[in-house]
Amino acid sequence: MPILAIGLRSPITRGCEFLLLPASGYVRAWRQGYNRQAIEEFVRVLILSDIHSNIEALQACLLAAPVYDTVVNLGDIVGYGANPNEAIERSRQLGGYMVRGNHDKAASGIMDLSEFNPLAGMAALWTRNQLSEENLEWLRQLPQGPIHIPELPQAQFVHGSPIDEDEYLVTAHDAVESLLSAPVPLTFFGHSHVQGAFSSYPGEEGSLRPVYASVGRTEAVDWTLEEDRHYLINPGSVGQPRDGDWRAAFAIFDSDRRTVTFNRVPYDLKTAQERILAANLPPRLATRLSAGR
């Protein structure tokens, strides 16, 4: 079980008190969530997030993914990378469920670019000019999270956080309020581009990051969920990881085994970078991909 637990024992005690009181209710909700009849259709869920127009990374993830029953896409399908139309079209083909990201909003004109840093703003404008009218309209209609899926009553799905779709959850401290207020045990989120999870249980809040054996091979790390905790789980970014690992990231949630499997996959980085440079997007958007930052 190569999982590293860091940052355990939060200075915030408010959460402990809250968690101690309704714990039996959480356990009950969790068990109901795993009622076999309720989840018969969706056992294995492919979780993708932050594809960011990187079609090479997306294809590598789809090739590496095991058999799954449905897909949930946590947003930021476009922005930064050079293949926005292809990323949208592949996502549409996959079907399943989707939540909008801030880059999806910016590129499709439903969010003001003034909230973006110059690099992200330039990429959003470039993306807007590349997208077909149909794909722009499709982006505009993506739902705001949290979304709930009838076949997965124990989970909710968001881009940033359950409280604010644009909020970054980076530290265990950032995650406390979302963990405590979540109406279901599992929240899948993206936006930070950092693969891993936060968990909460009486007296402790912690960050969990999968630990891999290599920096260049296809790898998976299985992680078993405990019954009496709330979790926030980030599958990592398909197309622009920022956790120091350049490989494309995704996760599989198995509701029957109660596991989350974190995955990292090498992809054709060179082609993705060359396309960014050929499109005259800022060169930094190409170089950061090899650093995973």
Q: Which residues bind Zn ion (CB under 5 A)?
A: 50, 76
Nearer to Zn ion, 104 or 254 (CB): 104
Nearer to Zn ion, 76 or 254 (CB): 76
Instruction: Please tell me the distance from the alpha carbon of residue 80 to that of residue 84, in angstroms, as a whole number.
Output: 9
Nearer to Zn ion, 26 or 138 (CB): 138
Give residue number: closest CB to Zn ion. 76
Residue 159 C-beta: closest distance to Zn ion, Å? 8
Nearer to Zn ion, 12 or 110 (CB): 110
Nearer to Zn ion, 76 or 167 (CB): 76
Residue 63 C-beta: closest distance to Zn ion, Å? 22
| Phi, psi angle pair for 288, to nearest 5° | -65, -25
Q: DSSP characters for 223-283?
A: EEPPTT-EEEEE---SS---SS--SEEEEEEETTTTEEEEEEE---HHHHHHHHHHTT--T
Instruction: Please tell me the distance from the alpha carbon of residue 4 to that of residue 62, in angstroms, as a whole number.
Output: 27
Residue 51 C-beta: closest distance to Zn ion, Å? 9
Query: 196-223 in b/e burial notation, b at 16+ Cβ within 10 A?
Result: bbbbbbeebbbbbbbebeeeeeebbbeb
Residue 169 C-beta: closest distance to Zn ion, Å? 13
Sheet holding 70-73, edge to edge: 97-98, 70-73, 44-48, 248-254, 259-265, 219-224
Tokens of 26: 């959480």
Residue 189 C-beta: closest distance to Zn ion, Å? 11
Residue 292 C-beta: closest distance to Zn ion, Å? 14
How crowded is residue 70: how many other Cβ atoms within 10 Å of its Cβ? 18
Instruction: Please tell me the distance from the alpha carbon of residue 199 to that of residue 232, in angstroms, as a whole number.
Output: 6
Nearer to Zn ion, 56 or 254 (CB): 56
Nearer to Zn ion, 71 or 99 (CB): 99
Sort 149 into a burial class: Cβ within 10 Å, 0-12 / 13-18 / 19+. Answer: middle
Write down the residue that tokens 């079609």 correspond to.
55
Residue 164 C-beta: closest distance to Zn ion, Å? 15
